[in-house]
Amino acid sequence: MPNYTFQRPDGELLTKRLSFTDYDAIIAGDKQMVDAEGNELILVFNPGEVGFVLKDGESGGWAGRAIKENKYRAQRSKVMAKREKDHVFKNRLVPNYEGQEGNTWAEVQSHAKAEKGELAASTYDSLVTKEKAGATT
């Protein structure tokens, strides 16, 4: 049962629990609430009439805050990507075959082809292609 706030004739506020049927009877005027002294109580808070609207105010509303947050995060993401590019060490794959280093991936691929055949050498195709593309730029 919800709590309702009532006011005594002297201005003091009381909170009472009412069932929904009692509340409807008070609103309709069929029933009156009285305190211990027999004074009529006036309903000062009507929970059925409460409403609220979400709107942008001086600090922003729900939608405004989300838009601001997404914009901030997008800008921050760009800044952090640049910082990462400038300051974070990037490991580079060293051309190797079975733990033995080579000078280029093409050299490693030809060594793998000689030892294990065409199928083993084909696993290095993407690395050789990337190496050749990097050499031309």
- pLDDT tens readout for residues 42-60: 888 655 555 555 566 666 6
| pLDDT higher than threshold 90 for residue 18 | no
Mean per-residue pLDDT, 67-85: 93
Range of the domain at 74: 52-90
pTM to 2 decimal places: 0.34
Which long-range CB contacts under 8 A does 29-38 form with residues at least 24 apart? 33/6, 35/8
Q: What is the DSSP letter of 40?
A: B
d(CA 99, CA 107): 14
Q: What is the pLDDT of residue 2?
A: 76
Cα dist from 131 to 9, 93, 109, 137, whole Å = 90, 11, 12, 10
- Please state the domain count of the chain: 3
| pLDDT higher than threshold 90 for residue 77 | yes
Mean per-residue pLDDT, 28-51: 79
Percent of the chain at pLDDT above 70? 83
Give the tens place of pLDDT for each residue, 89-132.
888 788 888 888 888 888 889 888 898 888 888 988 998 998 88
Instruction: Please indicate, yes or no, whether residues 64 and 29 belong to a single structural domain of this protein.
Output: no
